[in-house]
Structure 1
Amino acid sequence: MRETPLSNCEKHFLLKAIEEKKRLDGRQAYDYRNIKISFGTDYGCCTVCLGKTRVLAQVSCELVPPKDSRPTEGIMFFNLELSQMASPAFQPNRQSELLVTLNRQLERCLRNSKCIDTESLCVVSGEKVWQIRVDVHVLNHDGNLMDAASIAAISALSNFRRPDVAIQGRDITVFSPEERDPVPLSIYHMPICVSFAFFQQGTYLLVDPCEKEELVMDGLLVIAMNKHREICSIQSSGGIMLLKEQVLRCSKIASVKVSEITELINKALENDRRVRKEGGKFGFAESIPKERITALKREEAQVEMTDVQETAREILSKTEAPPEDVPSPVIVATGTGQVGEGLQNTWGLEEEDEEGVEDEMKSLVDGEKNKIPKKKDETMVISDSEEEEVVVLNPAALKSKNKRSRH
Structure 2
Amino acid sequence: MRETPISTCEKSFLLEALWEGKRIDGRGTLENRDLEIVYGLDWGSVQVTLGKTMALAQVSCQVVEPTFSRPNEGILTINVELTSLAAPKFEGLRNSDDGVEIGRLLERTLKESRCMDLESLCIVAEEKVWEIRLDIHILNHEGNMFDAASIAGLCALCHFRRPDVTLKGDMVTIHPLSERDPVPLGIQHHPVTTTFGLFEYPGGETLYVIDPSQIEEEAMLGKMVLGVNGYKEMCTLHLAGQVVVDKKMILRLANIAAEKSKKAVDKIKESLKKDEATRQSKNPRGFAAKTRSDSLLHSSAPKSSFDFVRVVPLARAVINANKNMEADDSVTSNDGDIVHVASADMEQDDQEEGSSYEEDSDVEVTGVMSKEQILQSKVTEKIELKDSDSASDSEEEEVVMLDKV
> After TM superposition, is the score higher than 0.5?
yes
1:13-24 matched pairs, under 5 angstroms: 13-24=13-24
1:9-48 matched pairs, under 5 angstroms: 9-48=9-48
The answer to whether the Cα contact below 8 Å between 1:56 and 1:137 also exists between their aligned partners in 2 is yes
Deviation, 1:245, is 0.3
The answer to whether the Cα contact below 8 Å between 1:202 and 1:240 also exists between their aligned partners in 2 is no
Question: What letter is aligned with 1:245?
Answer: K
- SS of the residue corresponding to residue 31 of structure 1 reads coil
Aligned match of 2:112:
112
Q: What whole-Å deviation, never above 9, does each CA across 1:77-127 have from its counterpart, x for those lacking one?
A: 000000101100113343221111111101000000000000000000000
Do structure 1's residue 224 and structure 2's residue 237 form an aligned pair?
A: no
Aligned match of 1:401:
none
Tell which structure's C-alpha radius of gyration is larger. 1
Do structure 1's residue 267 and structure 2's residue 251 form an aligned pair?
A: no
| Cα separation, partners in 2 of 1:169 and 1:38, compared to 1, 3 Å | same
1:288 to 287, 291, 295: 291
- SS of the residue corresponding to residue 293 of structure 2 reads coil
2:241 to 223, 238, 243: 238
| Cα separation, partners in 2 of 1:202 and 1:73, compared to 1, 3 Å | farther
Residues in 2 aligned to 1:13 and 1:5: alpha-carbon distance in whole angstroms: 15
Aligned match of 2:56:
56
The answer to whether the Cα contact below 8 Å between 1:291 and 1:298 also exists between their aligned partners in 2 is no
Gaps of 5+ in 2: 302-345, 350-358, 360-405
Residues in 1 aligned to 2:176 and 2:150: alpha-carbon distance in whole angstroms: 29
| Cα separation, partners in 2 of 1:273 and 1:12, compared to 1, 3 Å | same
Deviation, 1:9, is 1.2
Deviation, 1:278, is 1.6
Deviation, 1:297, is 5.5
Question: What letter is aligned with 1:222?
Answer: V
Aligned match of 1:388:
none
- SS of the residue corresponding to residue 290 of structure 1 reads helix
Residues in 2 aligned to 1:120 and 1:297: alpha-carbon distance in whole angstroms: 44
Aligned match of 1:254:
257
Do structure 1's residue 142 and structure 2's residue 142 form an aligned pair?
A: yes
Residues in 1 aligned to 2:292 and 2:210: alpha-carbon distance in whole angstroms: 28
Q: What whole-Å deviation, never above 9, does each CA across 1:324-362 have from its counterpart, x for those lacking one?
A: xxxxxxxxxxxxxxxxxxxxxxxxxxxxxxxxxxxxxxx
Question: What letter is aligned with 1:246?
Answer: M
Deviation, 1:16, is 1.0
Deviation, 1:203, is 2.1
Deviation, 1:282, is 1.1
Residues in 1 aligned to 2:217 and 2:13: alpha-carbon distance in whole angstroms: 14
- Percentage of matched positions with identical amino acids: 43
Residues in 2 aligned to 1:214 and 1:202: alpha-carbon distance in whole angstroms: 18
Residues in 2 aligned to 1:202 and 1:85: alpha-carbon distance in whole angstroms: 37
The answer to whether the Cα contact below 8 Å between 2:59 and 2:132 also exists between their aligned partners in 1 is yes
Residues in 2 aligned to 1:36 and 1:307: alpha-carbon distance in whole angstroms: 54
- SS of the residue corresponding to residue 89 of structure 1 reads helix
Residues in 2 aligned to 1:233 and 1:154: alpha-carbon distance in whole angstroms: 14
Aligned match of 2:160:
160
Deviation, 1:296, is 5.2
Deviation, 1:45, is 0.3
Residues in 2 aligned to 1:61 and 1:161: alpha-carbon distance in whole angstroms: 9
- SS of the residue corresponding to residue 288 of structure 1 reads helix
Q: TM-score, normalised by structure 2?
A: 0.72
Q: What whole-Å deviation, never above 9, does each CA across 1:360-382 have from its counterpart, x for those lacking one?
A: xxxxxxxxxxxxxxxxxxxxxxx
- SS of the residue corresponding to residue 228 of structure 1 reads coil
- SS of the residue corresponding to residue 57 of structure 1 reads strand
The answer to whether the Cα contact below 8 Å between 1:109 and 1:233 also exists between their aligned partners in 2 is yes
| Cα separation, partners in 2 of 1:11 and 1:31, compared to 1, 3 Å | same
Residues in 2 aligned to 1:22 and 1:229: alpha-carbon distance in whole angstroms: 29
The answer to whether the Cα contact below 8 Å between 1:35 and 1:51 also exists between their aligned partners in 2 is yes
The answer to whether the Cα contact below 8 Å between 1:40 and 1:284 also exists between their aligned partners in 2 is yes
Aligned match of 2:208:
205
The answer to whether the Cα contact below 8 Å between 1:44 and 1:158 also exists between their aligned partners in 2 is yes
- SS of the residue corresponding to residue 235 of structure 1 reads strand
Deviation, 1:22, is 0.5
Deviation, 1:292, is 2.2
Aligned match of 1:71:
71
Residues in 2 aligned to 1:61 and 1:28: alpha-carbon distance in whole angstroms: 42
How many residues are aligned here? Answer: 304
The answer to whether the Cα contact below 8 Å between 1:82 and 1:92 also exists between their aligned partners in 2 is no
RMSD value over aligned CA atoms? Answer: 2.0
| Cα separation, partners in 2 of 1:291 and 1:53, compared to 1, 3 Å | closer
The answer to whether the Cα contact below 8 Å between 1:165 and 1:173 also exists between their aligned partners in 2 is yes
The answer to whether the Cα contact below 8 Å between 1:54 and 1:138 also exists between their aligned partners in 2 is yes
Q: What whole-Å deviation, never above 9, does each CA across 1:222-242 have from its counterpart, x for those lacking one?
A: 000101111001010002221
The answer to whether the Cα contact below 8 Å between 2:55 and 2:138 also exists between their aligned partners in 1 is yes
